[in-house]
């Protein structure tokens, strides 16, 4: 079977939905640690949206492993395709790590992991202040790494869209065009 020219619909819908959710989470995260008055509702939003990202990335990884993605252009310099693959797997790693660290950090701190009123998740880490401190630090540092990686990824996507015009952006932005009669 020949390689596809575009990401499948599931991959595209999940990519753009999750991009929006992750950017929201980064902003909400920074907002809740910098504003005491806004903190309560921002934290209430941050926990369930973070867990939703964890559920979505499981579906996304399964879809990604079952469907071959479109190949990068053959004339792309080797270092650029290596960087693209490495950064995509780094993004996958962070999409799993961030929510899992958030959940285990609250568990280690002995805080309830409330999703919405009347429903909370069980702890997934032992109640231990040292573990809490390590995970709390990791949550901030990895958030910064995620933000930086997304910015480089955005720059690369726009480079493909506006400078190289090589179809890489369209492969994620839309489905294949129907051929005319």
**Interface with ligand HEM (CB under 6 A):** 11, 15, 19, 22-23, 25-26, 29-30, 32-33, 43, 46-47, 50-51, 53, 64, 69-70, 72, 84, 88, 91-92, 95, 98-99, 102-103, 106, 113, 136, 139-140, 143, 146, 150, 153-154, 157, 168-169, 171-172
Report the nearest approach of ligand HEM to the CB of residue 180 (Å).
Answer: 25
Q: What is the DSSP string of 20-44?
A: HHHHHHHHHHHHHHH-TTTHHHHHH
Closest-approach residue to ligand HEM (CB): 29
Using an 8 Å Cβ cutoff, are 167 and 4 in contact? no
Measured from the CB atom, the residue of 33 and 148 that comes closer to ligand HEM is 33
Measured from the CB atom, the residue of 173 and 180 that comes closer to ligand HEM is 173
Measured from the CB atom, the residue of 33 and 59 that comes closer to ligand HEM is 33
CB within 8 A of 176, min separation 6: which ones? 4, 5, 6
> Encoding tokens for residue 115?
């999703």
Report the nearest approach of ligand HEM to the CB of residue 7 (Å).
Answer: 7
Helix (H) or strand (E) holding 116: strand 113-116
Using an 8 Å Cβ cutoff, are 56 and 18 in contact? yes
Report the nearest approach of ligand HEM to the CB of residue 111 (Å).
Answer: 7
Measured from the CB atom, the residue of 84 and 134 that comes closer to ligand HEM is 84
Report the nearest approach of ligand HEM to the CB of residue 181 (Å).
Answer: 30
Report the nearest approach of ligand HEM to the CB of residue 2 (Å).
Answer: 16
Measured from the CB atom, the residue of 153 and 164 that comes closer to ligand HEM is 153
Using an 8 Å Cβ cutoff, are 146 and 97 in contact? no
Chain centroid to CA 161: how far? 21
Measured from the CB atom, the residue of 176 and 180 that comes closer to ligand HEM is 176
For residue 147, count CB atoms less than 10 angstroms from its CB and return exposed for 0-12, middle for 13-18, buried for 19 or more: middle
> For residue 126, what is the DSSP state?
-
């Amino acid at each position: 079977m020949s390689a596809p020219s575009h990401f499948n619909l599931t991959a595209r819908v999940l990519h753009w939905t999750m991009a929006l959710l992750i950017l929201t989470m980064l902003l909400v995260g920074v907002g809740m640690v910098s504003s005491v008055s806004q903190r309560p509702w921002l934290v209430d939003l941050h926990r369930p949206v973070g867990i939703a990202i964890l559920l979505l990335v499981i579906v996304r990884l399964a879809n990604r492993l079952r469907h071959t993605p479109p190949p990068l252009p053959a004339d792309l310099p080797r270092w650029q395709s290596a960087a693209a693959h490495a950064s995509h797997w780094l993004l996958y790693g962070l999409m799993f790590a961030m929510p899992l660290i958030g959940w285990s950090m609250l568990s280690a701190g002995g805080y309830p992991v409330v999703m919405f009123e009347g429903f909370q998740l069980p702890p997934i880490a032992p109640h231990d202040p040292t573990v809490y401190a390590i995970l709390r630090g990791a949550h901030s540092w990895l958030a910064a790494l995620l933000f930086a990686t997304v910015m480089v990824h955005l720059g690369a996507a726009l480079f493909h869209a506006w400078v190289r015009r090589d179809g890489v952006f369209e492969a994620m932005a839309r489905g294949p065009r129907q051929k005319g009669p």
